[in-house]
Amino acid sequence: MLRLEPRPERSRVLLWTTPLLAAGMTIVSAYLLFLIIGVDPLKALGHVIIDPFSNSFSRSELLVKAAPLALIALGLSLGFRANVWNIGAEGQFTLGAICGGATALAFYGVEGLWLFPLICLAGMLGGMAWASVPAALRTRMGVNEILVSLMMTYIAVLLLSALVSGPLRDPDGFNFPESRIFHDSAIPPILIEGTRAHIGIAIVPIVAIFLWWLTRYHEIGFSLRLLGDTPRAGRFAGFSENRAVWFCLMVSGGLAGLAGALEATGPIGQLVPGIPVGYGFTAIIVAFLGRLHPIGVVFAALALAVSYIGGESAQIAMSLPAALVGVLQGLLLFWLLIFDLFVGYRLRRVAPAKGGPRPAAETGPKVSESGGA
Amino acid sequence: MDEVLRVESVTKRFPGVLANDAVSFSVRHSEIHALLGENGAGKSTLVKILYGVLQPDDGTLSLEGRPFTPANPAAAREAGVGMVFQHFSLFEGMTVAENIALGLPGERPDEGFAARIRTLSEEYGLPVEPSRIIGDLSVGERQRVEIVRCLMQSPRLLIMDEPTSVLTPQEADELFVTLKGLRERGLSILYISHRLSEIRDLCQAATVMRGGKVVATCDPRTETARSLAEMMIGASLVQPVAAPSDPGPVRLSVEALDVPAEGPFGVTLDGVSLTVRAGEILGIGGVAGNGQTELMDALIGECPVAGGDILLDGASVLGQSPSQRRGMGMCFAPEERLGHAMSPGMTLTENTLISARRRAGLSSRGVLDFGAAARFAADVIGRFDVRTSGPQQTARALSGGNLQKFSIGREIAQAPMVLVAAQPTWGVDAAAAATVHRALIALAEAGSAVLVISQDLDELRSLSHRLAILSDGKLSEARPTAELSLAEIGALMGGSSLEGDLHATA
């Protein structure tokens, strides 16, 4: 009989090898899945894993996809450590796109270096405003922030649709639900000529290193960790739970909003109803795959970017279903959660609990060893 | 066969520790047998082996001459070993009968079962009413329920872990009468306690453990409390006693404090007033669950106050956060070590940052100084003899007594002007308790005001200059400890005013 028992100390080796084990098992299960649906598994896996690295354009696209994932997940992981569960980053991302895009349209045709920073700021404020609703409801009335932040997402998506069909619609756009295409001063500077790799990619490492410093060496990071691990000790230490809730939701909302503004003005270049494509939800996987550690999150975002680009590549080349990307990401989270169990627990083989009270007593103390063999 | 339980060269290893090293002893029929030892002496490990929670690496157990190898507590109970834990495992919202039925396989809390409980409780002189809700019972009554639950399985051996630590002196006396009654009916009891005087009263034999080994077997009736303590620690013991103080100005003053109850079984504090002067130790006694948690949390600043005031050097601290109160010179050592005073998953270094950030200079402008925190942790470890591999050890890995030494040491090392300590030596062995007591006395002698909230009357009587009793959310007037007799304290703990009940019963 096998039994799960808690480890005296969490295994640090496993903590950092689980993401690799999970990635490995995801590849194995994807292989089996391709086999079942009658697709050449090696060829399909080749498209998923190799294609994203095969040429310089794909490699730059990896960075373009990874940047918003990393920005959102960096904010989320801060909150997840403190037991503040912002599940609505998708909505905050959408609001960031709306506010950033609306700012760009308000200054349509106006040139100046100040405009793009203003757009970023507007995006951050939009995400923060959206996240302030769950924060206020949780701190004032004890409403669960998971439900509120999640439901706010649907409002945000519909709000975007309404705006691009109405006030923000392109006046010369033949009634298509789209805004004008943003002008030059309103779009992020390109980092690598000839690609879509924009300035937002350079922001990621700066934010990651700052948040790493904050969690490692600053009282704020310590208070979030303490309140997350042992809330009562956090109160004893004089830290305020309400302040932590606000801080986490404002940082994660602001970063999701920034990612939204960058996405709308950068790779997309206008406001369209299809801006929210699930980055806010995928970022939850990124946060856990990166072990809620700011530097780990950056690498995890790259891994998930591979699943997007490789999945799309396999879809195009082998006409596989569009659900492929979601299936791969779901498998990855599934295996991650399975392996995560073993960070805190281990399996042990134990003797059957009872073999009848009296006979067991007569076989002596060795019974526990022979019973398990 | 005269022996009920025989333990022969039982050995149990944990990584890095030999918890039981060839332990042998036996418990005879109709005997109350004391198991004595400091924290970490190996008592808990031994008891866990007897109750089937752990399996020995080596050695044999026998119960009434038959080999005894319990694979789990259920098997131990079936074989005839019952155990009453220090902390009860009862559901407060359920009835006595339901709680007892839960612990017994195949029983249902119906009328017939209730009748059996009544018969058994009358037979053994343990009055319990099966239909009452646990939450409404006193601590002494809850303990009776635990004992009755064990007796329902007609055990040969009953293990009791620190049973009097939660009782008033009167309740403890009742328990002793009960235990002597059980002994006369042929039951053997393995009795674990730190209170040496009650062991001399109650037990016919004692096994003393130190460092995982049995170091002595004796008849406690022929020993003194002091000689027993010295066997346990293997050295001579000097119990520190507070010198008469010459108190200075009032440092801490609580005025007519009202605090709402915490949770459905909490207690409402009703007009609690007290003052502690510089150089003075004020003791607050009383049985747990009479408002100690609420008083402590209100002093720390963790819970809202409904009325009254808390003044530190004449200035109100209401509305100030725990950190701000520490900044004003007030430190706190709460009762619950893991989960309140300390975070189990963090290292000792990180744990110093919980309460000592400002006073010990471990943080400047919000940036943490881990080097300074590690030095502070190492200092506490050294001064209070905390047994650990070092400041990088996680708190969870420390034993209860060592955690207690660290968490109270962390506060004393900050040299506070006012220290509020709850249960400062709870679960700590005699030598470590003496260290903590000496440090508290030294702190008071240096001019600090010390408030000790404790259930251990011996501790309060040797440590405090004045003593007040908390009962049902009301605090009695503090009186010089030397003037209070044990009978008076007991009456106050039972909730009667000094003038009323005491004279009626005296």
CA atoms within 13 A on the CB side of B355: 32
Beta strands B250-259 and B213-218, pairing class? unpaired
Reported as type and span, the H/E element at residue A347 is strand A345-349
B334 in A contact zone (CB under 8 Å): yes
Taking alpha carbons only, the member of A178, A156, A135, A146 closest to residue A90 is A156
Query: CA–CA separation, B249 vs B210, rounded Å?
Result: 45
Q: What are phi and psi of B18, to 5 degrees?
A: -100, 95
| pLDDT tens string A283-307 | 999 999 998 999 999 999 999 999 9
Contact predicate A263/A270, CB 8 Å? no
Poorest-confidence range of A27-31, B288-292, B322-326?
B288-292
- Record the tokens describing residue A101, joined without a space: 């895009």
Q: What are phi and psi of B330, to 5 degrees?
A: -115, 130
Chain B residues whose CB is inside 8 A of the A8 CB are: 15, 396-397
Domains of chain A: 64-306 (1.10.3470)
Taking alpha carbons only, the member of B112, B470, B419 closest to residue B288 is B470
Chain A residues whose CB is inside 8 A of the B321 CB are: 238, 240
Q: Give yes or no for residue B333 having a pLDDT over 90.
A: yes
Instruction: Report the 10 Å Cβ neighbour count for B304.
Output: 10
CA atoms within 13 A on the CB side of B339: 3
**Candidate from B302, B336, B367 with C-beta closest to A218:** B367
Amino acid identity, residue B286?
G
- Test A233 with B354 for CB contact under 8 angstroms: yes
* DSSP per-residue string spanning B118-158: HHHHHHTT----TTSBGGGS-HHHHHHHHHHHHHTT--SEE
| pLDDT tens string A152-211 | 999 999 999 999 998 999 988 888 999 999 999 999 999 888 889 999 999 999 999 999
Q: Which residues of B239-249 are buried (b: 16+ CB within 10 A; e: fewer)?
A: ebebeebebee
How are strands ordered across the β-sheet holding B269-277?
B269-277, B250-259, B307-312, B315-316
Chain B residues whose CB is inside 8 A of the A354 CB are: 71-72, 74-75
pLDDT of residue B200: 86
Confidence of residue B16 (pLDDT cuts 50, 70, 90): low
Q: Give yes or no for residue B10 having a pLDDT over 90.
A: yes
Count Cβ–Cβ pairs < 8 Å, chain A vs chain B.
104
Q: Which residues pair with B188 in a beta bridge?
A: B157
> Which residues, 6+ apart, have CB-to-CB distance to A115 below 8 Å?
A104, A107, A185, A186
In the predicted model, what is the mean pLDDT of residues A235-249?
95
Quote the mean pLDDT of chain A: 89
With CA atoms as reference, the chain A residue closest to B76 would be A357
Against a cut of 0.80, is the pTM above it? Answer: no
B340 in A contact zone (CB under 8 Å): yes
Chain A residues whose CB is inside 8 A of the B60 CB are: 364-365
In the block, tokens 């649709």 appear at: A161
Q: Give yes or no for residue B290 having a pLDDT over 90.
A: no
- Test A354 with B342 for CB contact under 8 angstroms: no
Chain B residues whose CB is inside 8 A of the A15 CB are: none
| Touching A: B residues 9-28, CB under 8 Å | 15
Say whether B333 sits in a helix, a strand or coil. Answer: strand
CA atoms within 13 A on the CB side of A210: 9
Query: CA–CA separation, B111 vs B103, rounded Å?
Result: 17
Q: Which residues pair with A3 in a beta bridge?
A: A348
| pLDDT tens string A34-92 | 999 888 999 999 999 999 998 888 899 999 999 999 999 999 999 999 999 999 999 99
Most B CBs within 10 Å, among A81, A227, A236, A243, to test the B interface: A236
Poorest-confidence range of A85-89, A257-261, B262-266, B345-349?
B262-266
| pLDDT tens string A327-359 | 988 999 899 988 888 887 888 776 654 443 433
| pLDDT tens string B127-169 | 888 888 888 887 778 888 988 888 888 889 999 988 877 777 7
- Test A229 with B66 for CB contact under 8 angstroms: no
- Test A219 with B357 for CB contact under 8 angstroms: yes
B60 in A contact zone (CB under 8 Å): yes
Confidence of residue B310 (pLDDT cuts 50, 70, 90): very high
Q: Give yes or no for residue B182 having a pLDDT over 70.
A: yes
- Test B326 with A238 for CB contact under 8 angstroms: yes
Contact predicate B337/B407, CB 8 Å? yes
Query: CA–CA separation, A178 vs A164, rounded Å?
Result: 5
Contact predicate B286/B292, CB 8 Å? yes
Interface residues from chain A to B (CB-CB < 8 Å): 8-10, 217-220, 222, 225-226, 229-230, 232-233, 235-238, 240, 351, 353-354, 357, 360-362, 364-365, 367-368
B505 in A contact zone (CB under 8 Å): no
Confidence of residue B236 (pLDDT cuts 50, 70, 90): low
Confidence of residue A143 (pLDDT cuts 50, 70, 90): very high
Poorest-confidence range of B170-179, B236-245, B277-286, B370-379?
B236-245
Q: Is A280 or B109 the better-scoring residue by pLDDT?
A: A280
Poorest-confidence range of A184-198, B227-241, B347-361, B393-407?
B227-241
Per cent of chain A over pLDDT 90 is 70
pLDDT of residue B289: 75
Amino acid identity, residue A345?
Y
In the predicted model, what is the mean pLDDT of residues B313-318?
93
In the block, tokens 């037990």 appear at: B203
CA distance B343 to chain A (A): 6
Most A CBs within 10 Å, among B153, B343, B368, to test the A interface: B343
| Touching A: B residues 393-432, CB under 8 Å | 394, 396-397
Helix axis angle, A115-141 relative to A241-263, nearest 10°?
150
**Candidate from A218, A222, A236 with C-beta closest to B341:** A236
Helix axis angle, B169-184 relative to B486-493, nearest 10°?
100
In the predicted model, what is the mean pLDDT of residues B64-82?
89
**Candidate from B324, B332, B394 with C-beta closest to A9:** B394
Contact predicate A192/A180, CB 8 Å? no
| pLDDT tens string B458-493 | 788 889 999 999 988 899 999 998 888 877 887 787
CA distance A8 to chain B (A): 8
Q: Give yes or no for residue B199 having a pLDDT over 90.
A: no
Which region, left, alpha or beta, applies to residue A308 given φ > 0 means left and ψ of -120 to 50 means alpha? alpha
Query: CA–CA separation, B106 vs B89, rounded Å?
Result: 19
Query: CA–CA separation, B287 vs B471, rounded Å?
Result: 7
Quote the mean pLDDT of chain B: 86
**Candidate from A218, A226, A368 with C-beta closest to B354:** A226
- Test A368 with B366 for CB contact under 8 angstroms: no
B323 in A contact zone (CB under 8 Å): yes
Query: CA–CA separation, B363 vs B171, rounded Å?
Result: 48
CA distance A173 to chain B (A): 53
Amino acid identity, residue B122?
E
Beta strands B479-480 and B418-422, pairing class? unpaired
